[in-house]
Amino acid sequence: MLEQIGQKAKAAEPVLRTLSTQAKNDLLIKAAEQLVTDSGKILAANEMDMANGEKAGMSSGLLDRLKLTEERIAGMAEGLTQLALLDDPIGEVLGMKKRPNGLLIGQKRVPLGVVGIIYEARPNVTADAFGLCFKTGNAVILTGGSDAIHSNIAVVESLQAALAACGLPVDALQLITDTSRETTTAFMKLNRYVDVLIPRGGAGLIRAVVENSTIPVIETGTGNCHIYVDESADLSMAADIVMNAKTQRVGVCNACESLLVHEKVKDAFLPVIAERLRTKNVEMRGDEAVCALVPDCVPATEEDWGREYLDYILSIKTVSSVDEAIAHINRYSTKHSEAIITESYTNAQKFLDEVDAAAVYVNASTRFTDGFEFGYGAEIGISTQKLHARGPMGLTALTTTKYIIYGSGQVRP
């Protein structure tokens, strides 16, 4: 089965590589319309996945990631529409220089080829991944988790219907419906057909792909994201940002998982933020100073400082300086998204310069680390590595370059 899927993707690739920008944009608009048209079927399929997830005891955060609504399907469609409005990076020439021998040497942006994506229970990824890969001329093979299998099938069928309606190869998008570990592991070895593999999910999934894949991997990261409330912070702003970053959606990788508070503002800030967190039933796990000020706070363990909870849980620690905050973040961070709340320009710049993460914020919620919010239309994932791509991966992250050389009869002496 995998061999056939790989062959079909390779056969579709040359067609996609040479599509005009107009043809790609027309398809994306059609795909957006098709998702809305098929929303009833997609929601019915999602209801099956949600029922199975509830029976399996999935956490509220994970159920939220799995859940589709009319609004979320409209958001998926809007992402495809936004991609159609963005510039097409394929064919862009990145400079051209003339050598002393007369050769003109430049680089041209081209598709990666066939992209494989392994992801967990987030059916919106199905549409985002297709749209980004299609706009950049890549064929894509998806394998999602069993928790979202019915939703993923429904979304893929809708997108393939749009491809067929536009006279384009439906094999530009394929879904591996066997979600067994054995099949997923075998997919990681399909380097004969797949040019790059992108895992999107928890730490266990990402580690398994990195350790087992024979296909080059772009590693997306988990999000143990911190917010540091500096001694000069506007505490009202800080409370609003913390609440947004922690509670707007707890099951996403850019949610705040750990709060650092300068000891000079802990007495004023901690009781206030604790009261607001209680309204959302957030469990607080803190150090000794935090527990002294917040009676219902649970003593934090060493493990808590490095946890991505994806749940209504927040670790809280007091620090004596911006330097201590930075050191703590750089030790326990997953290098995803980190934020400082401060009125000090010096501390803001120090934080921006010294925190090692893909996205570093001053006075804003970490929830903005997202391809749509960054103006990319959608994202393929948040890369926390430092090679090829870092941060939200939009269109250019799904391209590579090749050298193009113009000569006039030159031969090497």
Tell me the fold of 2-220+393-406.
Aldehyde Dehydrogenase; Chain A, domain 1 (3.40.605)
Strand partners, 361: 339
Domains 2-220+393-406 and 225-368 share a fold: no
What span, in angstroms and rounded, lies between the C-alpha atoms of 260 and 4? Answer: 51
Residue-wise pLDDT for 142-170, tens only, equals: 999 899 999 999 999 999 999 999 999 99
For residue 360, give both structure tokens: 């570093």
What span, in angstroms and rounded, lies between the C-alpha atoms of 333 and 276? Answer: 25
Q: What is the pLDDT of residue 380?
A: 81
What span, in angstroms and rounded, lies between the C-alpha atoms of 349 and 129? Answer: 35
Residue 379 has pLDDT above 80, yes or no: no
Q: What is the pLDDT of residue 276?
A: 97
For the chain, the C-alpha Rg in angstroms (whole number) is 23
Question: What's the mean pLDDT when you consider all of the chain?
Answer: 94
Q: What is the pLDDT of residue 213?
A: 96
Q: Residue range 104-130: average pLDDT?
A: 94
Q: What is the pLDDT of residue 62?
A: 83
Q: Where are the domains of the chain?
A: 2-220+393-406, 225-368
Residue 221 has pLDDT above 80, yes or no: no
Contact 386, 399 (CB under 8 A): no
User: Residue 120's pLDDT band (boundaries 50, 70, 90)?
Assistant: confident
Which among 367, 366, 371, 413 is positioned nearest to 396, based on CA atoms? Answer: 371
Residue-wise pLDDT for 268-297, tens only, equals: 999 999 999 999 999 999 999 999 999 999
Contact 172, 134 (CB under 8 A): yes
Range in 191-205, 254-268, 273-287, 367-381 the model is least confident about:
367-381
Q: Residue range 95-107: average pLDDT?
A: 95
Model pTM above 0.85: no
- DSSP 3-state of 307: coil
CA–chain centroid gap for 164, Å, is: 28
For residue 139, give both structure tokens: 């064929």
Q: What percent of the chain has pLDDT over 90?
A: 85
Residue-wise pLDDT for 196-217, tens only, equals: 999 988 778 888 999 999 999 9
Kindly state the greatest CA–CA separation across the chain.
81
Q: What is the pLDDT of residue 252?
A: 87
- DSSP 3-state of 382: strand
Contact 221, 384 (CB under 8 A): yes
Which letter does DSSP use for residue 91 in this model? T
Residue-wise pLDDT for 17-69, tens only, equals: 999 999 999 999 999 999 999 999 999 999 999 999 999 998 887 898 899 99
Q: What percent of the chain has pLDDT over 70?
A: 100
Which among 326, 150, 138 is positioned nearest to 228, based on CA atoms? Answer: 326
What span, in angstroms and rounded, lies between the C-alpha atoms of 107 and 95? Answer: 6
Residue 249 has pLDDT above 80, yes or no: yes
CATH class in words for 225-368: alpha beta
Which among 4, 16, 392, 315 is positioned nearest to 176, based on CA atoms? Answer: 4
Residue-wise pLDDT for 301-333, tens only, equals: 999 999 999 899 999 999 999 999 999 999 999
